[in-house]
Amino acid sequence: MDILSMKQWSPYAVGIGIGLLNCLAFLLSDRYIGCSKAFSDGFGAIERLFKGSRVLEKPYYRKFVPQIDWFLMLVIGIVFGAFISARLSGELQGVWVPSLWAAHFGPSVAGRFFAALAGGFCVGLGARWAGGCTSGHGISGTIQLAVSSWLAVLCFFVGGIITAALLFKIL
């Protein structure tokens, strides 16, 4: 079977690839792979459309300037990469409600939409609050042996495991 059209690769092969990409980011760009900054940039850009460039005076945006930068290009790249991979394995498919969700909470599109919106809200707030997400802290930070990143990834999973258990086993 053609490797590019396979639906799922071994997690170990994928992990080695992601680890090597992180090394490349350090080597070629003096940066680490992280995805949550692009979202505060995105909000800053939308705010700027409505309120003008004075929003750039906000203390947070002075520290993390909303601009077209490496981190935004990284996230745009993810769109292309995931699209190509899904296209090659024939997995491009419009889905509103994932099957595991539907099996527990039913096929309601509105229900899934609001859960995703609320979950996304916590993900965005928590990622910026903790200073990184599952890539910025979870991989890029842990490989540098940063205490903040090991502690953050532990909290991501503790919070996630407890919430998933509450949602799926008690509700």
Partner 1 sequence: MGGELFMLSSIRSNKSLQLAIGLLIGTGFGFLLQKGGLTSYDVIVGQLLFTDFSVLKTMMTAVITGMIGVHLLKSAGVINFHPKQGSLGATIIGGLIFGVGFALLGYCPGTVVGAAAQGSFDALFGGIAGITIGAGLFASLYPRLEKSILKKGYFGELTLPELLKAGEWTIIIPLCIMIMVLFIFLEKSGF
* Range 38-67, binding partner 1 (CB under 8 A): 38-40, 42-44, 46-47, 58-61, 64
Give the tokens for residue 75: 């996230």
Nearest to 37 by CA among 19, 60, 17: 60
Q: Using CB under 8 A, which of 1, 28, 170, 171 touches partner 1?
A: 28
Min CB(52)–partner 1 separation in Å: 16
Q: Which of residues 134-153 bind partner 1 (CB under 8 A)?
A: 134-153
Instruction: Determine phi and psi for 116, rounding to 5 degrees.
Output: -65, -40
Taking the alpha carbons at both ends of the chain, their separation in whole angstroms is: 42
Nearest to 157 by CA among 149, 169, 168: 149
Nearer to partner 1 by C-beta: 77 or 106?
A: 77
Nearer to partner 1 by C-beta: 60 or 106?
A: 60
Nearer to partner 1 by C-beta: 106 or 122?
A: 122
> Which residues, other chains included, contact 128 with Cβ-Cβ below 8 Å and sequence gap of 6+?
36, 39, 40
Q: Work out the angle between the directed axes of helices 109-130 and 37-51 (0-180°, nearest 10).
A: 100
Min CB(15)–partner 1 separation in Å: 2
Min CB(53)–partner 1 separation in Å: 15
Binding track, positions 66-95, relative to partner 1; x by CB under 8 A: --xxxxxxxxxxxxxxxxxxx--x-xxxxx
Task: Indicate whether 107 belongs to the interface with partner 1 (CB under 8 A).
Answer: no
Q: Using CB under 8 A, which of 1, 2, 52, 99 touches partner 1?
A: 99
Give the tokens for residue 29: 């760009």
Nearest to 162 by CA among 139, 170, 127: 170
